[in-house]
Amino acid sequence: MDNPWARISVKTAVAAVCAGLFFWFVYLARAALFPFCVAFIIAYMLDPLIDRMESRKVNRSWAIVLLLVLLTLISVGAALFLAPLAVEQVAALGKKLPGYIDQMEDKLAPVIGLIPDMDTQEVKARVRESARSLGDLPLKAVNAAARGLWSGLTGAMGVVVALFNLALIPVATFYMLKDFDSIIESVSKRIPAPYRDRLLGVFRNIDATLSAFFRGQLLIAMFMAALLSSGLFIIGIPMGIFIGIVAGLSNIVPYLPVFVGLAPALILAYLSFGDIEHIALVAALFASAQAIEGLYITPKVLEKAVGLHPVAVMASLLIGGAFFGFIGVVVAVPAAATIKVILLELDSDYLKSDFYLGEKDRDKDKK
């Protein structure tokens, strides 16, 4: 009886090697390809809207220009709104910091007194120093980011490269959007005829999954930002609006709101009020928001288009972060959803194969 694994064709092996080399090249050239990847994602998300505008007799090029200008104005307006808000709330937090230090000393004093041979003054000094360091964290983070940006820009041709990459994104987006349909059609025609219908069906499934993911996650992030920022503001948490907006928008990356939203909100609730009630309110707010998002909004908006197991989500985040850093974390879930569609298609073939069904072996036995 022949070994079934020996039936794998040379073409399949060559295709696998070529695919591996392609992904290896993408990994090595990830920095240079980054502007084009961003441009393609933007073009992919905006193409349905451009097609709709074009169907209403709007010139495609003008529709693209108008939409890109509108998105630029929205982005600049959001930045102009968030930056002063963040500076104002960080400054307000800095003014309240001495009071927070006194509160921490008062709360820790009874506990310290119960510990034998404990130097109370030394502990108070350490608490005061730690609290000051906590208050300086936002400023330190801004300074570190500024130093890192400046060091990158002051390198050889750093300024030119940075500006070129920044300017390249809208230009590449424009041309990709302008010829998006023709690019897709051209690629489709070059798929070998025996496999064309099958592969196009797979691509349509991937397109439906990614479209639902990107547009659905954007709506969910906006809802979460509004809910969390208004909730933290009502509770009275310092920097509540800013923390809520950042936490809501970061909801595009699973589990990230816990680190950028819940943790700082709990710390500020304790420092501001020092009671369990406000800490419980903050925890209840985030728990309720996550419950609403997970049990109602996500199933309704995404309609189970992605359908990844939580373990698969965590694994994809870890793998994406290990290979591509923060950008890898951002694209990990849609990439995993794409891989899932492909694997489901391969699994369907496997379940219909002679190797799985054993039909040829049964026929040989009958003879």
Q: What is the pLDDT of residues 171-211, one digit of tens each?
A: 888 888 888 888 888 888 888 888 788 888 888 888 888 87
Is residue 277 domain-resident? no
This prediction's pTM = 0.63
Percent of the chain with pLDDT over 70: 72
Q: Please identify which residue in the block is written with the tokens 């391969």.
A: 346
Domain that residue 52 falls in:
30-190
Taking CB atoms within 8 Å and a gap of at least 24, the contacts of 254-259 are 254/313, 254/314, 254/317, 254/333, 255/314, 255/317, 256/329, 257/224, 257/228, 257/286, 257/290, 258/286
Binning pLDDT at 50, 70 and 90, where does residue 352 land? confident
- The pLDDT of residue 365: 47
Binning pLDDT at 50, 70 and 90, where does residue 153 land? very low
pLDDT tens-digit series, residues 21-37: 888 887 787 778 888 88
Is residue 240 domain-resident? no
Residue 236 region, left (φ>0) first, then alpha (ψ -120 to 50), else beta? left
- The pLDDT of residue 286: 92
Helix, strand, coil in percent for the chain, rounding step 5: 90, 0, 10
CA separation for the pair 59, 150 (Å, rounded): 41
How many structural domains compose the chain? 1
Q: Please identify which residue in the block is written with the tokens 């500024």.
A: 146
Is residue 51 domain-resident? yes
Is residue 104 domain-resident? yes
Is residue 143 domain-resident? yes
Is residue 35 domain-resident? yes
Is residue 260 domain-resident? no
Binning pLDDT at 50, 70 and 90, where does residue 285 land? very high
Is residue 8 domain-resident? no
